[in-house]
Amino acid sequence: MQPLIFDIRRFALDDGPGIRTTVFFKGCPLACLWCHNPEAIRPETDLFFQRDRCVGCGECAKACPDAAICLDGPARVNRQRCTLCGACADACPATALKMVGRYYPPAELVRLLLRDLPFFSVSGGGVTFSGGEPTLHSDYLQEILAALRSHGIHTALQTCGHFDLEPFRSRLLPLLDLIFFDLKLADPGRHRRFTGQDNTRIRDNFRRLAAEAGSRLVPRVPLVPEITATEENLQQIAALLNESGFDSCDLLPYHPGGLSKRQAMGEIPSPLVPDAMIGQGEERQWRHFMQQRLAC
Amino acid sequence: MGNVTLPDIRLSDFTLQTLPRLAALRTRNLQAGAEVCIERARLITRYLRDLADADEPMELRYARAVGYYLANKTPLFPDDNLLAGTTTAKYFGAPVYPELTGLTIWPELDTMSSREKNPQRLSRQDADILNFEVFPYWLDRNILETTRARHGNPACMKLFERIVFFLASKAGTISHTVPCYRLALEQGTEAIIAEARRQEALCATATDEESRQKQTFYQAVQLALAGVNHYAANLSQEATRLANETADPGRRRFFEELAAISAQVPARPARTFREAVNALWLLQVAIHAESINMAISPGRLDQLLYPYYRRDIDRGTLTVEEALDLLGCLWLKLNDNTNLVPETAEELFGGAGTVPAVTLGGIDADGEDAVNDLTYLMLRVTELLKTRDPSLNARYHYDKNSETYRQRVAEVIATTKAVPAFYNDLVAIRTLENQGIATEDARDYAIIGCVELAAAGRSYDASSSIMLNLVSALELALYNGKRPVTGDEQIGPRTGDATAFRSFEEFWHAFTSQLGWLIGQAVELNEMMGKSHQERLPTPLLSALFEGPMEKGRDLIFGGARYNSSGATHIGFADTVDSLNAIEQGVFLDRKCTMAQLMQTLQHDFAGAEALHAYLVNRTPKYGTDAPIARKNARNLTAFLFDTYQAHVNYRGGRYRPAYWTMTNHAGQGRLSGALPNGRKANRVFASGITPVSQAATDLAACLNAVAELDALHLPGGVAFNLKYNAIANAEDLRTFGQAIEAYFRQGGLHIQCNIMSYETLLDAKAHPEKYPDLLVRVSGYSAYFKSLNEAMKEEIITRTAYSLTTGQSEPFPAAAQNMLPFRG
């Protein structure tokens, strides 16, 4: 299946050094309950409905061949009937209905990324691949990375760590300047429960890459209150980091941006997931906690 | 390498607390109310009416009148400013130029003192003098009427007087230029008079017409410059009188110094930094005896004044603090006058200063870094004073100037929230070279007024000759030569019933036919008025302070400058491009509606067509994004305008240059235009300058790229690109801010100017003007105090897309203010 991209964010400052463009792939082997980008989980196209953009013209209902539009309900789309054909989004004049996920032929994507080359070069920035899980599309990714490298562009990857190591090492690793590697939950049971996957492979991959990639590998830990941000979990992650020789990691404070996206896709968010940003005090406390355990 | 020796380029030890003179002068300047000053009008009129020899050529009569005014101008020392000379006889004066558009205040003589918006005080006695002595004389002698009479009220003039198609600025100005003060500072005006006398004698023996004309020109130069020296001598005498009158030794020394300085300059060479600054100021005042106070731009002051500064500093006769004090005094002096604005023109030009542009930095004639200590002193003075004028412009050559300089300019923008504007040296120089300017002259470019590029002191550009409304051409194409605002009258050529067009190409053809026709009309009128200027408004004084006229023996308005051009700027660029996009995509590609349906919707201002309106706003390509159709139409429009204007040669032998800056005209003209295909509703503001439509370009990088990729060679008159950031909150933001500008320049961007303020701040400033007495904003080229802008212009600035430097995206526009958006309401 063709890799779909659900967003290309330009002038991104939080995904690596300098001014960057971040490419978000669809499809992820994990399905974290708190996911910031739930539209990235399924590899297929999704239909988004943003109620605040709707002008109530009813063009979507006229366009839908499957009578899946319900103008009265808050959800707008009857997801049981919807075949994701995209006719309603095509007809929507206000972009309230939007198809999420598009295939970019490699040449087109590279051309688009190259448009911001001056931003990269004046700031020491580059391109970051995120998602979703970019390594699911390693042929495609390899082609894009090679093209960017030929223009001297700095490349970075954000990964959940759940991938086949050998092809990654031989094909992608040589083309990457920076790998942001997520360590979410140390306990295998909790990992399965909250992300839908076992974490053995992630931990193995992390240990192996730590030995090989050196400073190109940057561990990241999401701080989700009550889920990942617990003393026990962070203690165990710190231990894993210590044994791999890391004395620091990126901490990603939780924000509830994923909730409204799930609603836009007609999903019901898990009640376990917090609906507010992590408090500044709590964030500070965990930063201190991690610093103390990594600084030894 | 440049000449930077300052230990701290930010000069952070110097503040308004350590410079109390500037603090006091600034407070008074900000509080001063404008007064109409009739002195110039009265004296010039009296001379021409009662004293002039009617048999003399106009060139001499007018030069004598200018000299007469300067010799009799009130020598005034109204405050503690260290510089001698005032533009008018009022503290904050609006001089009257009855030969231009001064007469437009005739119907308002009784009301202009008390009008609500920006009142200009006029005493009963002065109103009577204008009413009975001055204005009647000029009734059929002003430029507009003499042009009308000579050409039998031509069609192009009637079109101009409808206001909604184009403005012909020559009716109102002889201005918009950068003089060359270097020679006058180095040698003194007496030396220039002597040279004119020598040249006159050389011509005296010949009897041919050309020699006779040259002789007249050189005579006129002497007469006008003698007036300048006379004024300086009067100032010196008055200062001596004031010195003798006071018992306070400090005041006495203050006046004695002023007396000594005005006895030396500008007649004789400036020997010190202070004399150089004062000479420059006196020449600037003098030029306004002849040319209206609009955009007479001093140019590259950090280059011009540097030798005097360096010498005094090295000799130990000047400290950095004293230099800052003097520069601050000059900045405040440049704020001592304002334009005479009738209430009817408030809508189009409200809140403007007189826009004397100062240009800093960049490279020198050899192509090397020209940034010096004075560059940083001028940046600091600007940062401390935050006054409307001078309009400050920073040149930046990314291969030659340092990143330190770039970031210091960025920091001043962050502090002042508005100035200076940034220019890309590499591109600006190439653009001027493409206009036939020699490389070393192009490298010495400076900014005129808002954003126009000039080979400083060498190129006479009349850069504000035409202001043309692009939307009017679009509407003429939509309505087969008519416009909603002018009703059923056939204005332009019949380019076909738009409802019958079968392709976008047909519409494009109709649009460019209307536009070409409109340009032809505007150029025709400009040529007529240019000839009127030649007959009635010679400029020997300005010509003496320029490169070319003294060598050629020919006044600037007869083509005496080394280079010549005329500038035509354009209103409604982004709205026009987006409307073209909407027609191409909506009617001919997506077939969302027919041309007939679209036009019907426009005529009803989208009432009952919410879905189509939403489609036009949200789904059609927008200038300022990556959309290929938008990029193509923007490119094609700038190319069409470039080709069309460059084909016209003006009465001075120079070509017309298209530009894209709008002052506040985009607000005023917007209020007179119907609904547009891009979804903008009827009578709402247009986007400013070359800036994308508010809220249409949400992605910062794409927006910068889209503006940068317009071929600067096609924009030789200059552009105003307004970019708003909601905040520069910390050192990281400041670095990103500077990097974004550099990236924009490396993509080919010519100009950028920024407002650093959030929607919330601006909305608060609109609701509570008293809380923001000196909030400075970039309008479209110049700066203005937000409180002095009219309501439409305030809303335009509020609705401009505000980008975040941390996300690179536009900030969400406050829901409560949605009705201000031009496509809502």
- Over residues A75-110, the pLDDT tens digits come to 889 999 999 999 999 999 999 999 999 999 999 999
**Helix segments in B334-437, DSSP class H:** 343-349, 373-385, 403-416, 425-433
* Cα–Cα–Cα angle for A249, A250, A252, rounded to 5 degrees: 140
Partner residue opposite B701 with nearest CB, options A57, A59, A116: A116
Nearest-CA distance B770 → chain A (Å): 35
Shared domain for A79 and A178, answered yes or no, is no
- Under an 8 A CB cutoff, do A122 and B739 touch? yes
Contact B122, B65 (CB under 8 A): no
* Cα–Cα–Cα angle for A59, A60, A63, rounded to 5 degrees: 85
pLDDT above 90: residue A296: no
User: Do the strands B34-37 and B120-121 form a parallel or antiparallel pair, or are they unpaired?
Assistant: parallel
Shared domain for A112 and A202, answered yes or no, is yes
Shared domain for A18 and A54, answered yes or no, is no
**Would an 8 Å CB–CB cutoff place B740 in contact with chain A?**
yes
Task: Give, rounded to a whole angstrom, the gap between the first and last alpha carbons of chain B.
Answer: 54
3-state percent breakdown (helix, strand, coil) of chain A, nearest 5: 40, 20, 40
Q: Which residue is closest to B733 within chain A, CA to CA? A: A13
Q: What ipTM, to 2 d.p.?
A: 0.94
Closest CA to B545 of B70, B189, B86: B189
Mean pLDDT computed over every residue of chain A: 95
Range of the domain at A147: 5-43+104-294
Nearest-CA distance B808 → chain A (Å): 5
Between CA A231 and CA B821 the distance in angstroms is 50
Shared domain for A34 and A133, answered yes or no, is yes
Contact B170, B438 (CB under 8 A): no
Shared domain for A142 and A251, answered yes or no, is yes
Is the preceding peptide bond at B172 cis, omega within 30 degrees of 0? no
Burial B312-351 (b: 16+ CB within 10 A, else e): bbeeeebebeebbbbbbbbbbbbbbbbbbbbbebbbbbbb
Q: Which residue is closest to B627 within chain A, CA to CA? A: A112
Q: Which amino acid belongs to residue B594?
A: T
- Under an 8 A CB cutoff, do B701 and A10 touch? yes
* Cα–Cα–Cα angle for A261, A263, A266, rounded to 5 degrees: 115
Query: In the numeric block, which tokens belong to residue B731?
Result: 């050192």
Q: Which residue is closest to B609 within chain A, CA to CA? A: A57
pLDDT digits 0-9 by tens, B350-373: 677 899 999 999 999 999 999 999
In the prediction, which pLDDT does A235 show? 96
Query: Can you give the CATH number for the domain in which A67 is found?
Result: 3.30.70.20
- State the best of A111, A119, A260 to mutate against chain B, taking most chain B CBs within 10 Å: A119
In the prediction, which pLDDT does B174 show? 80
- Under an 8 A CB cutoff, do A11 and B808 touch? yes
In the prediction, which pLDDT does B207 show? 87
Partner residue opposite B618 with nearest CB, options A13, A93, A115: A93
**Would an 8 Å CB–CB cutoff place B747 in contact with chain A?**
yes
- Under an 8 A CB cutoff, do B808 and A122 touch? no
Between CA B277 and CA B282 the distance in angstroms is 9
Which of A100, A118, A142 is at the close of a domain? A100
In the prediction, which pLDDT does B664 show? 87
Q: Which residue is closest to B613 within chain A, CA to CA? A: A93
Shared domain for A76 and A153, answered yes or no, is no
Shared domain for A60 and A175, answered yes or no, is no
- Under an 8 A CB cutoff, do A10 and B740 touch? no
Query: Can you give the CATH number for the domain in which A162 is found?
Result: 3.20.20.70
Which stretches of chain B score pLDDT less than 50? 1
Between CA A25 and CA B431 the distance in angstroms is 42
Q: Which amino acid belongs to residue B410?
A: A
Contact B726, B758 (CB under 8 A): yes
Supply the Cα-derived Rg of chain A in whole angstroms. Answer: 20
Shared domain for A75 and A159, answered yes or no, is no
In the prediction, which pLDDT does B352 show? 76
Shared domain for A109 and A241, answered yes or no, is yes
Partner residue opposite A10 with nearest CB, options B613, B702, B744: B702
- Under an 8 A CB cutoff, do A11 and B701 touch? yes
Residues of A at the B interface (Cβ-Cβ below 8 Å)? 9-14, 18-19, 21, 55-57, 59, 93-95, 112, 115-116, 118-119, 121-123
Which of A84, A100, A116 is at the close of a domain? A100
**Would an 8 Å CB–CB cutoff place B801 in contact with chain A?**
no
Of A164 and B343, more confident? A164
Q: Which residues of B touch A116 (CB under 8 A)?
A: 701, 705, 743
Which of A100, A115, A135 is at the close of a domain? A100
**Would an 8 Å CB–CB cutoff place B699 in contact with chain A?**
yes
pLDDT above 50: residue A127: yes
Contact B555, B538 (CB under 8 A): yes
**A120: Cβ–Cβ under 8 A, 6 or more apart, which residues?**
A18, A19, A20, A21, A126, A127, A153, A154
Domains of chain A: total: 2
**Would an 8 Å CB–CB cutoff place B591 in contact with chain A?**
no
Q: Which long-range contacts (CB under 8 A, 24 or more apart) does B608-614 make?
A: B610/A55, B610/A56, B610/A57, B611/A55, B611/A57, B611/A59, B611/A93, B612/A93, B613/A93, B613/B679, B613/B823, B614/A55, B614/A57, B614/A93, B614/A94
Q: Which residues of B touch A56 (CB under 8 A)?
A: 610
Helical packing angle, B504-536 and B58-72, nearest 10°: 80
- Under an 8 A CB cutoff, do A9 and B614 touch? no
Between CA B30 and CA B32 the distance in angstroms is 6
In the prediction, which pLDDT does B178 show? 96
**Would an 8 Å CB–CB cutoff place B734 in contact with chain A?**
no
Partner residue opposite A123 with nearest CB, options B619, B739, B806: B739
Q: Which residues of B touch A61 (CB under 8 A)?
A: none
Burial B221-234 (b: 16+ CB within 10 A, else e): bbbbbbbbbbbbeb
User: How many other β-carbons are positioned within 10 Å of the β-carbon of residue B133?
Assistant: 15
Shared domain for A81 and A152, answered yes or no, is no
- Under an 8 A CB cutoff, do B618 and A115 touch? no
**Would an 8 Å CB–CB cutoff place B731 in contact with chain A?**
no
Q: Which residue is closest to A59 within chain B, CA to CA? A: B611
Closest CA to B525 of B478, B468, B480: B468
Helix (H) or strand (E) holding A99: strand A97-100
Shared domain for A125 and A232, answered yes or no, is yes
The DSSP result for A119-172, as a single string, is: HHHHHT-EEEEESS-GGGGHHHHHHHHHHHHHTT-EEEEEE-S-S-HHHIIIII
**Would an 8 Å CB–CB cutoff place B369 in contact with chain A?**
no
In the prediction, which pLDDT does B1 show? 47
- Under an 8 A CB cutoff, do B808 and A118 touch? no
Closest CA to B420 of B361, B348, B495: B361
- State the best of B406, B618, B805 to mutate against chain A, taking most chain A CBs within 10 Å: B618
Shared domain for A61 and A169, answered yes or no, is no
- State the best of B424, B598, B739, B803 to mutate against chain A, taking most chain A CBs within 10 Å: B739
